Structure 1
Amino acid sequence: MCLSNKLKTISSLKNRQEFFNQNRRMLWGKRFWTKSYCVISVGDGATTAIIERYIKNQRPN
C-alpha cells in the first residue's frame, strides 16, 4: 500500500469515528475519499494562493 493510501485510510477511519453523522451527506456512496490522489512538490515560487487556486480549479474525474 502506498503512502497516500495509508494516509487516506487512517484519516477516513478517524473522521468516520468522530464526525460520521455530520459528513454522511458528503460521502461518495460509502467512501470518504475518491480513488484518486495528487502529490505536488513546490518550490519557492508557489504561494499559498497559487496552490489554493490550483486545488479549487480541479475538475471531478
Structure 2
Amino acid sequence: MTVLPTYLCAAELASGHLVKLLDVEVPPLNTLFVAVRPGMEENPGVGTVRTRLLMQAGLW
C-alpha cells in the first residue's frame, strides 16, 4: 500500500495493475521547492533545469 500522485501511476491505474482504494475529497498537496545558491541564477544549466521544471509542472 502506498500514496502516490496520480501522474506517477495513471497508466497503471488505467490498466488495472493498481487499484485506487479510496477517493478523497481533497487530495494531498505535493509541493516542490528548488533552492539555488546566490549568484547561480545566471548559470545556463540552472536556468535550463528551472525552465524544464516550470514547463512540466503544468502537467502534474
TM > 0.5 fold call: no
TM-score scaled to structure 1, two decimals? 0.28
TM-score scaled to structure 2, two decimals? 0.29
Q: Which has the larger radius of gyration?
A: 2
Q: Which has the higher contact order (CA 8 A, sep 6+)?
A: 1
